Amino acid sequence: MKDVYITIAGARHYYGLEIFKKGMTVALVKEPDNEVDAEAIKVMLDGLGKVGYVANSPYTTLGESLSAGRLYDRVRKHARAEVVTITPKGVLCRVRKKSLK
């Protein structure tokens, strides 16, 4: 199975990019009651809570990342991803294979 990547968007609105480190694990949690986006997936960190969202636009996804809309039906309600790299435009993460349906 090919690796699945996502981009964390909106981190600047929470704690900034500085909290992310390569290799750290983040939780991905579907947010079906989100008023703006029914396919929203929030990104959570233990001890901090919400730190961003899975990017859901071609303008905010990095490289080969899937948008939240394309990822939504491929993951369980709760999933995990590992930070691969941090850029000024966002955080690239690899979704753990065990999190995929």
**Closest to 68 measured CA to CA, from 99, 40, 38, 89:** 40
Q: Determine phi and psi for 99, rounding to 5 degrees.
A: -85, -15
List the pLDDT tens digit at each of the 101 positions of the chain: 789 999 999 999 999 999 999 999 999 999 999 999 999 999 999 999 999 999 998 899 999 999 999 999 999 899 999 999 999 989 999 999 999 98
> What are 79's two structure tokens?
């999933």
Task: List alpha helices for 1-101, DSSP H.
Answer: 68-71
Non-local (6+) Cβ contacts of 21 within 8 A are 83, 86
Please count the CA atoms within 13 angstroms of the CA of 93 that sit on its side-chain side: 30
As to burial, measured by CB atoms within 10 angstroms (0-12 exposed, 13-18 middle, 19+ buried), residue 15 is: middle
The whole-number pLDDT of residue 101 equals 87
Listed by start position, the domains of the chain span: 4-99
Please give the CATH architecture assigned to the domain spanning 4-99. 2-Layer Sandwich (3.30)
